Structures are given as structure tokens and as C-alpha cells.
Copies of this chain bind each other. A is one copy, B any other.
Amino acid sequence: MKTEIKGVNGLDNKEKLIISEIKSLINLKNMEPGEKLPSERLLADRLGVSRGSIRNAIQKLEFYGLLKSMPQSGTFIADLGLTAINGMIHQIINLPTPDFKSLVETRIFLELKLVKFAAARRTEEDLSEIEEVLEKYKFKVLAGEDAVAEDLLFHLSIAKASHNPSLNRLMLSITPQIITDFEKYHVCKSNTALNAIDEHQAIVDAIRFKDPSRAEEKMKEHFSVLYQYCYESN
């Protein structure tokens, strides 16, 4: 049997099936928004699978905010109405696995905004943390060592300074996949690391002086190679 390759954050066939069945059951019972889902035992029995599998599927839907389990009480359906629930679950199940270009496109888009917010909202603590991370990055690069991790932490420290937990979370959720893809597709050339020091420094300076547009501009320059890769065919 062939090994099933499941993309990051994707759903395997069994999960899709169970989620789809849960959707059908919600429709069948014509449940009101905010109502309780049938108990895990009942679902497991009804769908002919174990409770563990049901709990797994519920956790996936909890991530998308469609369900919420309350201990010793029940699992509640988001107060969205049947039509919305159906539409969302349909899209979730049929969501394609993000490809590399989607991820890069998303990252550039996210980070250009994050750095603007960071420049506008950063506290002194944020700035200290960013500078501290930058120093570690410089040290590694100047020592001729690999600094992929330090580069990553630099960008994450900016994301944190944006003071938008929602965007920060999105950034966190796509970062590892991008990093590993970078190495796979050999996008990131190590010989550009020396340039990157100056680019990073320019970004930090803009954040220090609370200049959002300059911060965005410098981040754009930092991403220029990546940007080119992403839109070379457009």
C-alpha cells in the first residue's frame, strides 16, 4: 500500500469522511445554531467508528471555530446557522493543499503588514527583543555559521511586536513549512547572508524610529529576491 502523503494542516480521507458525515447529521437533524452536537458516543455509533476518531475530527473543526467542546456538557455548534456551517465545512474539506508559491505569496503579504504594525505599535521591550535577536543573527552570520534559525526568530520577533495576535498566529502557522520548502527548493542562498545583515538592520532602524512605511519599504527590499521568485511569471 502506498504511503499516504498528508500535507501540513491538511485532512486525510478518513477525517474528511467523518467531518462530512457530521455535516450531514447536523442537516438531517436540522439543528439550530448554537445547539449541541449529538454526543461523541452517539456519533461514533452512528458513523461506525471509534470515539477517538470522532474526537479527532471534532478537534479539527474546533480549529476552524465551527465547534467547541465543553467538558461534561457537550460539543456546541458555532452560532452561524445551517447554511453557513454547510458552506464552511464544504470549503474546508475541499481546500487544496497550499503549494509553495501560495505560501511565499502569503508570507510576503503578511510580513509587509506585520512590520508596519510593529513599527507603529512596538514597545521598548519589543524593540529590545528584536535587537537582541538581530545581534545573535549577526554573530552567527559573521562567524560563517548557518543562521536560518536566527533569521526565522528575527521575523517572528517582528510578528510579535505587531501586537496583532491573530496575524501573529497566522504567521506562525505558515512559517515552518516555508522554511523547509526553502531548503528543499534551494531558494535561500547562503552567500546573500551578508547583505541580509544590512537589510535586517535597516528594518530594525525603521521600527525603532516608528516609521511604518519605511519599515514596509525595507522589508520589501529584503524580500526582493523572494518577491521576484513569486511573481516572475506574472
Contact = CB atoms under 8 A, between A and B. Distances in A.
Interface of A: 8-9, 52, 56, 59, 62-66, 68, 78-84, 87-88, 91-92, 95-99, 102-103, 105-106, 109, 113, 146, 148-150, 152-153, 156, 160, 164-170, 172-177, 179-180, 183
The secondary-structure label for the interface of chain A is: helix
B65 A166 contact: no
Contact of A79 (B62, B68, B98, B180): B180
A150 to B, nearest CB: 7
Given A9-B169, A106-B164, 10 more contacts: A9-B63, A64-B173, A65-B176, A78-B179, A80-B179, A81-B149, A84-B148, A88-B176, A105-B167, A166-B174
Copies of this chain held together in the complex: 2
Given A88-B172, A95-B165, A169-B98, A149 B65 contact: no
